[in-house]
A and B are shown apart, each in its own frame.
Chain A
Amino acid sequence: MDKLDELESQSIYIIREAYYHYKKLAVLWSIGKDSTTLVWLVRKAFFGKVPFPALHIDTSFKFPEMYKFRDEYSKKWGMDLKITMNKAALDAGMTCEKKLDCCNALKTNALKMAIAEHGFEALLLGIRRDEHGIRAKERYFSPRDESFQWNYQDQPPELWDQYKSQAEEKTHIRVHPLLGWTEVDIWRYLKREQVPITDLYFSKQGKRYRSIGCTTCCNPIESNARNIDEVIEELETTNTSERAGRAQDKEDTYTMQKLRALGYM
């Protein structure tokens, strides 16, 4: 069994475990490469079908290519797609001028609304440990309380891969089947499985997106990688962070606002 087989089978095991425990389960689909890999794994886990809803939190600021991809493949894969948008915040004129507030209203609060509306007990998310320092402490099954707080010091132990999938009431569980994957694992898997992916990830005029989200908060990186093989080759030789192109890196945004107010910029 090679590494990808092992990762795939572990992820599928976690997905099926989650499906067994939670009647109200959904997969969060941001249309990026990781959550699309996750949807692909769900399909593999259940013989080509996604047996629970796919939730897309739509900020209205996603790339047009992402909307096109979402509509095309949700249909092709027969998904029960739920789209949630914080219309009240958008109507009140929320834009990314204040990025922290914007992310909070259009992503976090929209997700809270979706959980309330559909009564989801658990969500499958495509996050990986190597994405960001804070995610290093994540678990495969991670409880969140009512206000979405995650207390990383008070988590159920997951020893010898015994996943803790039971939770107290009033929490929802986030399930992270891709936690052990790295960025390059994802790309190797996308290649092996020929998973469709938006072409925002491939180089046009010397630039490509390494991580996608809202048009307002993503910057392309300098790259000549025009296809999956070239992306893999680039990743094997790079040492910059995957999210380097995302102004959405909220701490940086906060820091920039603060430093500007203090006259440092």
Chain B
Amino acid sequence: MSGRSPRFMILSIDGVPFGLMRRMLDEGVMPNLAKLEQGSRMRQMRSVQPTVSCVAWSCYMTGMNPAKHGIYGFIDRRDGGYDLAFPNSRMMAVDNIWQVLSKAGKKVFGMNVPGTYPPREVNGILIGGFLSPTVDKVAYPASESRYLQSIDYQIDSDAQLARQDKKAMLGNLDKTLQKRMEAMFHYLEQDWDFFHTHIMGSDRINHFLLSKVEENDSFFAPAFFDYYRKVDEYVGKLMDLIGDETPIMIFSDHGFCPIKYEVQLSRYLVETGWTVPAEQMQHPLSINPAKSKAYCLIPGRVYVNLKGREPGGVVPLEEYQQVREALKADLLKLRDPVTNEPVIERVLVREEIYWPSGSKSAAGMSPQDVAQAKGVFGKAADLIAVPHDGYDLKLGLGAQQTFVKTELEGMHTYHDAFMIARDVELPQDNLEIMMLTRPILKRLGVEPPADMDGEGDAVTPWE
């Protein structure tokens, strides 16, 4: 294998849960990764709340909580109205790890990490993640697109295809993986300080096949493990190339579990009287603001329709805390229609898991100050509903039912991302994805930005 080892290597495999990885290491599905794990025991790692890839990766690439970097989910409310906005790297308020390293003179490479589109200017190459619309726009510098086009590089597998035909999805996932790895080994021929390639197909295969694996489906269960075998073969080639000395991290950003129900939380807020839809519903946020005291964004991000803050706010500031408590109580009342088990495990308030730039915690802030916070922190949800595993929170403002089942079989979980690291000094306890930036910078001898979280008090509290 030609090519040379970067000074720091990361291969991230999106959404592989610790438990599944343990099983695959133990049962011989991923022998090459198992070999790496012999010297550096796999650990469990916490993700982010709410547990979505773009937030998890934004926390990874900044080492900061969302109230500093500004990415709270895949959708936001557009400024000035009740319409949807789609955050991307333009909305990220701080430098990402490739920029921080670039400014320290390091040569960097990143490929397909969620939340990196449009790619920012770096000292090296940055290729955007799965929300990049076309290959000609995916890369910084733009000239790299020509190489990527020449190999028929795939930005992402086709999720629409997965909904229609799961067998066809498998072929599509293989092609996407093969092209990604071809590009990775191509770029590894150059000299890099920091090299990060991401595999997204694992998240897709888990979303669409996880229940089939649990049921031990005779076709899809073996096909599922075959995908991971292929990933492992590439891990083997990579390990041959980089040798035994290079610091490396192989990890996922969150776990996964089978879905019991997709839960249309906006519909539940309509049922409980908090949200009133607009007469003509055009999109998932078409609410009647004059009659709505609250609304939600995916997943489980509930906003108080606060007067003076929201464009058509109706809840006066003095009622903010009371409304939050009443909303919390209602959310916790939501029950599984069959088993009557609670759906929501806990409801967090914004100051519990977010803290603004220049601080390490928002715990001491009064509810009024929290409600009126400006800037990036002020865009946080007022309440974050955290579901029990198995209940995937969606929007569904106009949905016919609150509890539905679709082609999706798996959902993200918070506690159980995995981490295998060699020759990197990670925090000993309670590892979370936001803690990774510091040790990487340290290993490369680069000073972390002053406001970086991920140590001391600036970690996400969780028992």
Where the two chains meet, the residues of A that have a C-beta atom closer than 8 Å to any C-beta of B are 100, 133-134, 149, 151-154, 222, 239-240, 244, 250-252, 254-259, 261-265
| Shortest distance from the beta carbon of B21 to any chain A beta carbon, whole Å | 22
24 contacts between A and B (CB under 8 A): A100-B133, A133-B90, A149-B136, A151-B142, A153-B141, A222-B81, A240-B79, A251-B133, A252-B84, A252-B86, A254-B133, A255-B88, A255-B131, A256-B86, A258-B130, A258-B131, A258-B156, A258-B159, A262-B159, A263-B262, A263-B392, A264-B394, A265-B75, A265-B394
Residue from A151, A251, A252 whose CB has the most chain B CB atoms within 10 Å:
A251
Give the distance in Å from the alpha carbon of A34 to the alpha carbon of B131 in the complex.
30
The CA of A263 and the CA of B207, in the complex, are separated in Å by: 9
B133 contact set on A, CB distance < 8 A: 100, 250-251, 254-255
Do B408 and A263 touch across chains, with their CB atoms under 8 A apart?
yes
| Of listed B133, B392, B394, residue having the most chain A CB within 10 A | B133
A251 touches B88 (CB 8 A): yes
Taking CB atoms and an 8 Å cut-off, the chain B residues in 261-288 that contact chain A are 262, 284
Map CB proximity to A onto B100-134 as digits: 1 under 8 Å, 0 otherwise.
00000000000000000010000000000011010
* Complex interface: chain B residues within 8 A of A254 (CB): 131, 133
Given contacts A133-B90, A251-B88, A258-B130, contact A153 B143 (CB under 8 A): yes
Q: What residues of A have a CB within 8 angstroms of the CB of B90 in the complex? A: 133
Which residues on A sit within 8 Å (CB–CB) of B456? none
Number of interface residues of B (CB under 8 A): 36
CB distance from B55 to the nearest CB of A (A): 12
Q: Separation in Å of the A129 CB from the closest CB of chain B? A: 16
Chain A residues with CB under 8 Å of B74's CB are 255, 259, 264
Complexed CA–CA distance, A133 and B86 (Å): 15
Q: Are B142 and A153 in contact (CB under 8 A)?
A: yes
- B160 proximal to A (CB < 8 A): yes
Q: Please tell me if the beta carbons of B262 and A259 are within 8 angstroms of each other in the complex.
A: no
Q: Which residue of A lies closest to B133 (CB)?
A: A254
Q: Does B406 contact A (CB under 8 A)?
A: yes
Closest 6 CB pairs of A and B: A261-B159, A254-B133, A255-B86, A261-B160, A263-B408, A262-B159
Most chain-B CB neighbours within 10 Å: which of A133, A244, A262, A265?
A262
Q: Which residues of A contact B86 (CB under 8 A)?
A: 251-252, 255-256, 259
Closest to A134 in B: B118
Chain B 383-397 near chain A by CB (<8 Å), digits 1 or 0? 000000000101100
Interface centre among A240, A257, A258 (most CB of B within 10 A): A258
Interface mask (B216-253 → A, CB under 8 Å = 1, otherwise 0): 00000000000000000000000000000000000000
Q: Is the CB of B207 within 8 A of A151?
A: no
Contact indicator B131/A154 (Cβ below 8 Å): no
If A151-B143, A264-B394 are given as contacts, then 13 extra A-B residue pairs at C-beta distance below 8 Å, sorted by A number, are A100-B133, A153-B143, A154-B143, A239-B79, A252-B86, A255-B86, A255-B133, A258-B156, A261-B158, A263-B262, A264-B52, A264-B299, A265-B75
Residues in A whose Cβ lies below 8 Å from that of B136: 149
* Chain B residue at minimal CB-CB distance from A252: B86
CB-based contact A265/B143 at 8 Å: no
Given contacts A244-B78, A258-B130, A259-B74, contact A265 B88 (CB under 8 A): no
Collect the chain B residues with CB atoms within 8 Å of residue A256's CB.
84, 86
Q: A264: which B residues are within 8 A, CB to CB?
A: 52, 74-75, 298-299, 394
Q: Which of A134, A239, A240, A263 contacts B406 (CB 8 A)?
A: A263
A262 surroundings in chain B (CB, below 8 A): 159, 207
Q: Which residues of A contact B395 (CB under 8 A)?
A: 265
Q: Which of B121-169 contact A (CB under 8 A)?
A: 130-131, 133, 136, 141-143, 156, 158-160, 162-163
A108 to B90, alpha carbons, bound, how many Å? Answer: 25
List residues of chain B with CB within 8 A of the CB of A149: 136
Residue B358 CB within 8 A of the other chain: no
In whole angstroms, how far apart are the Cα atoms of A73 and B268 in the complex?
54
Contacts of B130 in A (CB 8 A): 258
Q: How many angstroms between the C-alpha atoms of A261 and B262 in the bound complex?
A: 14
How many whole Å from B431's CB to the nearest CB in chain A? 27
Task: For A257, give the chain B residue with the smallest CB separation.
Answer: B160
**Chain B residues within an 8 Å CB radius of A100:** 133
Does B461 count as interface, using CB distance less than 8 angstroms?
Answer: no
What is the chain A residue whose CB lies nearest that of B407? A263
Query: Is B80 an interface residue, CB under 8 A from the partner?
Result: yes
Cα of A134 to Cα of B118 in the assembled complex, Å: 10
In this complex, the member of A244, A250, A263, A265 whose beta carbon has the largest number of chain B beta carbons within 10 angstroms is A263
Report the separation of the CA atoms of residues A262 and B160 in the bound assembly, to the nearest whole angstrom: 8
Asked whether, in the complex, the Cβ of B394 is within 8 Å of the Cβ of A263, the reply is: yes
Closest residue to A263 on the B side, CB-wise? Answer: B408
Q: Contacts A153-B141, A154-B143: A265 and B298 contacting too (C-beta < 8 A)?
A: yes
Beta-carbon contact of B143 and A261 below 8 Å: no
A264 vs B284: C-alpha distance when bound (angstroms): 11
Instruction: Please report the C-alpha to C-alpha distance between residue A261 and residue B408 in the assembled complex, in whole angstroms.
Output: 10
Q: How many angstroms between the C-alpha atoms of A250 and B133 in the bound complex?
A: 8
Contacts of A151 in B (CB 8 A): 142-143
* Residues of A contacting B88 in the complex (Cβ-Cβ under 8 angstroms): 251, 255
Q: In the complex, A251 Cα to B74 Cα: how many Å?
A: 13
Partner of A261, one of B85, B118, B141, B163: B163
If the complex has contacts A240-B79, A263-B262, A265-B284, are A152 and B159 also in contact, measured as CB distance less than 8 A?
Answer: no
- Rounded to whole angstroms, the CA-CA distance of A263 and B156 in the bound complex is 15
Encode contact with A along B157-183: 1 for CB under 8 Å, 0 otherwise. Answer: 011101100000000000000000000
Q: How far is the CB of A166 from chain B (nearest CB, A)?
A: 22
B84 contacts across to A, CB distance below 8 A: 252, 256
Shortest Cβ distance from A222 into B: residue: B81
Measured CA separation A133–B120 after assembly (Å)? 12
B160 neighbours in A (Cβ, 8 Å): 257, 261
Minimum distance in angstroms from B50 CB to a CB of chain A: 11
Closest Cβ–Cβ distance, residue B26 to chain A (whole Å):
30
Which chain B positions have C-beta within 8 A of A244?
A: 78, 80
CB proximity of A114 to chain B, nearest CB, Å: 21
